[in-house]
Structure 1
C-alpha cells in the first residue's frame, strides 16, 4: 500500500519508522511547509527516500495520485484544513489525535468521514500498547468482576519544543486536556464501555513554561491536573496528570477496581498485577505477570510499540481484512471530554456533557 505523510515532525517520524517495518507499506509522498522538517523526514527514510515525492501542502499531495492512504501528523489546529482535500480525493486516512481542537471541527470530521469512500481511523495508539491491551482485555473478560472505578495516572516530562512553538498555546492545541489527555479519555470510554455524562477538572500551569515568552505571549497550557469523569453506567473514572514528573519509574499506571478484584498495569515496566478480594485480615492473593512487547516495535517509536500495532490494524482495515477500531466518532468523544475538562478547570465547576451537546 502506498502511503503519504502530512506533517513530518516528531510524530510523523515515528510513523515513518513504523511504516518501515509494516509489511507491504511503501512511503511515496511527504507534505510539510517546513523545509527543515522535510529534511528530517528524508533522513529518517534513509535509502528509501529516493523517489519519494515532496509537497508543500496536503492539497498537492492529495492531487498527486501517488498514494492510497495518508497519515495526518500535522499540528492539531491544522487538521480540518489538511483533511478537507484528503476527503475530497477519497483517500484512506489515519489522523493523529486529537481529531481537532474544537468540538465543532471534530463534528465536521465525523460528517466527512461518514460520507467518504475511504477508511478513516483516529490514531489513539495508547490502546495498542501491549500491557494496556492486556489490561483492557482482562477487565472486559471480567477479571475484576463488575467494574466500578477506573484510575489513570500519567506522570511524565513537559511538552517538547515543536516547530513554531505551536504546542505552547491552547488555541493551537485545544488545551492540554484535549491535546494530551484525549488518549486517556479514549481509554476510559473503551474500558468502561459507556459515555461520559459529567466532568470535573482541577488543573493549572504551576511549574512548566512560566518563564517562556513567544512573541511576547506567555504559554497557557495546563501542566498538572486531576479530572473526574462520571459515566452513564455509574462507573467513575479519574485521571491524575503531572507533566513535571519525568523521574517516575513508570510513566503510565492504570487501575481498575471491581466488586471482585483490583487490576493494575504499569508502563513501561509491563507489569500486570491482579489483587482479588480476600476478606478482612485474610492472606493476600496477589498475582503478577509481565506483558512483553516486540523489541523491533519498541525501537520504532516512543509509545511502547503501540504505533506499530496500530498500523497493522489500520492496514488490515484498508485491505478489508479487519474493522475500523477507532472511528472519527471515537475521536470526537475524546475531544469533547477534554474540552469539558478545559472548561471545568478554567471555570472551577462541574461540566455536564449535555451542555456540549452530548
Structure 2
C-alpha cells in the first residue's frame, strides 16, 4: 500500500495548478486543502480537485492535522512572510517555489529562517529535473573533462498574465533576472560546482508590455539581456535571455565545454504553445561532441506524454515531486536547499544591479552572509 502524502497549498494560480496536476499523477499524492484568495483561481482548482477544502488563511490551513507537507506557489514577494508565519506556527516539510525572496533587504530574514527552521525545505528549481538538462548534468564531467565554459540561452514567449499583474513589476517579482533567471543561476552553480564571484549584465525592456498599464502604472519588467558570471574555480558562464522569441524551435539551449569536448541540450517550450499545423512538437535532445575523435552524437530524450501534458516544464515538476515525496517520508534530504535557492536569488539581484548601473558586481559579501546561515 502506497503511503499518502497530503499537501496544503498556498497560492494556486498557474504554477500552483501545474503542481496539482503533477501531485495527482504520483502514487499517494493528495491535495488536502488550498489557500487561494482569487475567485477565478479557486474555481479552476475546484475543477482539478472536486470538493477540496479552501482555507481563508495560512493559520486555518496549518490547523489541519492531516497535512504532511506544504507547497508555496504564491506570488514571489509573499514567500518570505509566509515562510516566517509557518515557522512561527507549525513546522512542516515545505516545497517553496522560486524565487525564495525578491529584494536584498530580505536576505537577513531568509538567513534567519535558514538557521532555525527545523523541518526540511526544498526550493522548487524545476529546470534541474527537465530530462535533457538532467542528462547534460549527469554526463557533463565525463564528456567535457571539467566544464570551463557554460552557456545558457532561453528564447521564449513574454511573461504570461498573472492575477494582479504582479509579474509585470520589479518590486513584486524581483525583476526578470530574479523571477525568470534564478533557475539558470542555480544550474550554473550546480553544473560548475563552484560559487560565483563576479556578475556582469546588460538588460532592458525593449519590446514587451510597453503599451500596458495597471492602475496607472506602466510595467518595468525587462524582456531581454545578457549576463556573464565568473566563478571561484576559474570557470565562466553566460546567460542569453530573449522573451520575444517564441517562434524558436527550442526554448532552452544549454552548452557546456571543457578540454575534452562539448555537450549540449535542447529543450522545447510548452507543447500547448506549439502550432498544430507544424505537427508534433520537437523532441528534446542531447548532443555530445568530443574533440577526439570528432563526430557529434545526437540523443533524443523523449518524455512520457502524460507527464509532459501535466505542465509547461518538460515533465520536470513531476520528477521534482517524486523526489520531494521521499523527503516528506524521511527517506531523503532536499536536493535543492535553502542555500541553493538563496544563492540563485543573490546572483539574480546582482545581475539586476549590474544591468542597472553598468558596473560589475562582486558577490563575496553576499555569499559569505548566506554561507554563515547554514
Assess same fold via TM > 0.5: yes
**Counterpart of 1:20 in 2: which secondary structure?**
helix
Aligned length: 349
Q: Distance in 1 between matches of 2:352 and 2:93?
A: 31
**Counterpart of 2:332 in 1: which secondary structure?**
coil
Map residues 210-221 of structure 1 onto 2, 5 A cutoff.
210-221=210-221
**Counterpart of 1:324 in 2: which secondary structure?**
coil
Asked if 2 retains the 8 angstrom alpha-carbon contact of 1:107 and 1:332, the reply is: no
| 1:356 Cα deviation from its structure 2 partner | 3.7
1:272 matches 2:272: no
| 1:214 Cα deviation from its structure 2 partner | 1.2
TM-score with structure 2 setting the length: 0.90
| 1:84 Cα deviation from its structure 2 partner | 2.0
Q: Distance in 2 between matches of 1:307 and 1:43?
A: 20
Q: 1:310 aligns with which of 317, 320, 326?
A: 320
1:8 matches 2:12: yes
Map residues 133-148 of structure 1 onto 2, 5 A cutoff.
133-140=134-141, 142-148=142-148
Map residues 192-207 of structure 1 onto 2, 5 A cutoff.
192-207=192-207
TM-aligned CA distance change 1:357 to 1:264, over 3 Å:
closer
1:30 matches 2:31: no
Map residues 121-270 of structure 1 onto 2, 5 A cutoff.
121-140=122-141, 142-268=142-268, 269-270=283-284
Q: Distance in 1 between matches of 2:318 and 2:110?
A: 24
| 1:355 Cα deviation from its structure 2 partner | 5.0
Asked if 1 retains the 8 angstrom alpha-carbon contact of 2:120 and 2:333, the reply is: no
**Counterpart of 1:4 in 2: which secondary structure?**
strand
| 1:287 Cα deviation from its structure 2 partner | 1.1
1:71 matches 2:71: yes
Q: Distance in 2 between matches of 1:158 and 1:107?
A: 32
TM-score with structure 1 setting the length: 0.94
Q: Distance in 2 between matches of 1:265 and 1:26?
A: 33
TM-aligned CA distance change 1:110 to 1:325, over 3 Å:
farther
Q: Distance in 2 between matches of 1:339 and 1:119?
A: 25
1:292 matches 2:292: no
Q: Distance in 1 between matches of 2:77 and 2:26?
A: 29
Cα distance per residue 1:8-41 (max 9 Å; x no partner): 1000000000010111111110001212211111
Cα distance per residue 1:301-338 (max 9 Å; x no partner): 11000000000111101112122100111000000000
Q: Distance in 2 between matches of 1:116 and 1:200?
A: 34
Q: Distance in 1 between matches of 2:107 and 2:127?
A: 20
TM-aligned CA distance change 1:106 to 1:298, over 3 Å:
farther
**Counterpart of 1:132 in 2: which secondary structure?**
helix
| 1:354 Cα deviation from its structure 2 partner | 2.5
Q: Distance in 2 between matches of 1:71 and 1:7?
A: 8
Q: Distance in 1 between matches of 2:138 and 2:104?
A: 30
Asked if 2 retains the 8 angstrom alpha-carbon contact of 1:106 and 1:331, the reply is: no
TM-aligned CA distance change 1:115 to 1:191, over 3 Å:
same
Asked if 1 retains the 8 angstrom alpha-carbon contact of 2:68 and 2:328, the reply is: no
| Partner of residue 330, structure 1 | 340
The RMSD of aligned alpha carbons is 1.4
Asked if 2 retains the 8 angstrom alpha-carbon contact of 1:62 and 1:85, the reply is: no
Moved over 4 A (4+): none
Q: Distance in 2 between matches of 1:171 and 1:195?
A: 27
Asked if 1 retains the 8 angstrom alpha-carbon contact of 2:34 and 2:54, the reply is: yes
Map residues 18-97 of structure 1 onto 2, 5 A cutoff.
18-45=22-49, 49-50=50-51, 52-88=52-88, 89-97=90-98
TM-aligned CA distance change 1:244 to 1:277, over 3 Å:
same
Q: Distance in 2 between matches of 1:106 and 1:292?
A: 39
